Amino acid sequence: MKTIEGDEELIKKLTENFVAAFNSGNVDAMMSNYVPDESFVIFDVVPRAEYCGAEVYRGYWLEMFSHFEGKPHLSIKDQGITVGGDAGFGYSFQHVTGKSKQGDEVNRTVRVTNGYRKIGDNWLIALEHVSIPVDLKTGMAVFQ
């Protein structure tokens, strides 16, 4: 596959736009980074573990934000991107902090793998997989 110069930078910009939208609590802007139809798939760590379609996932984001006092904060590190033709994939560690409506501090890191599709001149997330490492001795999630 031929990599068009600048595609990796466009995907990095998509990620920056997503982080800015998340940190402002703007679900519409967040969703503009995803393929907007039923072909979008996410495998998440919370039940229901699979979502198909952007509108279903929009509802998840709205529900997730409703559990926070104010807006949570997202930061991304160790992002890797591979692009070829009109498809690509990326991975990163995503760290969410904030305060729950019950007053508990939220401090979680998840691993995210994204599949990207180039539609026209735009890169969009077509597949997202969120996971949490598990301590095999205890069977418990490791959020840090």
**Span 12-66, pLDDT tens digits:** 999 999 999 999 999 999 999 999 999 999 998 876 667 789 998 899 899 999 9
Token couple for 104: 């508990």
Q: Domain coordinates of the chain in residue numbers?
A: 7-141
pLDDT at 12: 96
pTM reported for the whole predicted model = 0.89
What is the CATH code for 7-141? 3.10.450.50
pLDDT at 3 over 60: no
pLDDT at 82 over 50: yes
> Rounded to whole angstroms, what are the CA distances from 16 to 11, 66, 73, 77, 123?
9, 23, 13, 11, 13
pLDDT at 1: 44
The confidence band for 98, taking pLDDT boundaries of 50, 70 and 90, is very high
- Calculate mean pLDDT across residues 72-91: 96
pLDDT at 5 over 70: no
pLDDT at 133 over 90: no
For 103, half-sphere exposure in the C-beta direction (CA atoms, 13 angstrom radius) is 0
Q: What is the mean pLDDT of the chain?
A: 91
pLDDT at 144 over 80: no
Which residues share a beta bridge with 97? Answer: 73, 107
pLDDT at 2 over 60: no
